[in-house]
Structure 1
């Protein structure tokens, strides 16, 4: 049975760096969808789609993450890693106090993941860029909403300790080897 593993945490916590390390080690990984959605919006002249049209942005994210999940099902790899999962979407909308239809929570319940690895906010590595504009304080608050969303869906969350990219990646892979 395929394991679908999600890396969660606020912005700038090291998820993508670890995902890139997993790719280098030959694992099948699904990248973060929000950067792609943000860049497409910028090409259309919308500087911050999430801030101007949060529901439209979230619907695009949902479509992308659902497609990633379904593509993983078509894949014959035993393990697939995801840089964020479907529940991240409603967690972010809760953080921004955005009203949204039940579809988001229903999809979060429908598409289940095997294991959740949490990357806590880490001031020393937090940075901002054109697509990641949240401050470290905002990242800490978003992190609480993410933990709440996944916990309320019944997921057991495994905390990834601070360390080098190699150490964090090794921790995840060693944790998975115990489950196999």
Structure 2
């Protein structure tokens, strides 16, 4: 089943969520990004699991979200596109110079995805900040390096998405997933 689970990763503001939205519009199953939703929820309730308040708690909530997304992914024959995955939590912890707890490492080993992970590279020309995205373009580049490094360390093959229109990225992605 995990061979159907296709991860899109990268730094913030690189167009990956826009591509996932386009995949959904084309009829493909998808997951929602953990970080943005957690920030929205925690901000709404005055919670402390925010990247600028409690990085470790934020990481734990992202891990729980990604594990649930993995378990709740639709069954069937077609691909399911993940807006980040379990290994992104490790990338986040590394970015923030936090230790990776053994249970997070174990989760990355047990909850697997398609061997090819698609990475949206930093793209300053489209980068914008918003209520949930407060990182600088430089931090977005460091995030890209941290998450792609983590995926490589866990044995995934990284495929860099082209800096192109959403339609061109869609065609590139669909042409390179190679489901078995």
TM-score band by shorter chain is over 0.9
User: What's the CA shift string for 1:112-153, capped at 9, x where partnerless?
Assistant: 110200110011111111101111111111111111100110
Q: Provide TM-score, normalisation by structure 1.
A: 0.93
Q: Partners of 1:141 and 1:45 in 2: how far apart?
A: 28
Determine the C-alpha separation between the residues in 1 that align with 2:48 and 2:139. 20
Verify the 8 A CA contact 1:28 1:77 in the aligned structure 2: no
Q: 2:144: which partner in 1? A: 143
What is the aligned partner in structure 2 of residue 107 from structure 1?
107
- Residues 28-76 of structure 1, C-alpha deviations (whole Å, 9 max, x = no match): 000101111111111222477112111111111111110000011x522
2:57 aligned with 1:51 = no
TM alignment of 1:32-43, pairs within 5 A = 32-43=33-44
Deviation at 1:99, TM superposition (A): 2.7
Q: Deviations over 1:61-112 (max 9, x none)?
A: 111110000011x522421000001110111111111234211111011111
Counting only pairs closer than 5 Å after superposition, residues 91-102 of structure 1 correspond to structure 2 as 91-102=91-102
Structure 1 residue 83 and structure 2 residue 83: aligned? yes
SS at match of 2:81: strand
Mapped partners of 1:106, 1:127: distance in 2? 34
Per the TM alignment, residue 17 of structure 1 is displaced from its structure 2 partner at its CA by 0.3
Gaps of 5+ in 1: none
Counterparts of 1:179 and 1:71, CA distance in 2: 20
Superposed CA RMSD? 1.5
Q: Which structure 2 segments of 5+ residues have no match?
A: none
In 1: Cα distance, 2:37 partner to 2:10 partner:
19
SS in 2 for 1:126: coil
| TM-score for both structures, normalised by structure 2 | 0.93
Match of 1:49, SS?
coil
Residue aligned with 1:52, SS? coil
- 1:15 Cα deviation after fit: 0.4
Correspondence for 1:19? 20
Aligned length: 178
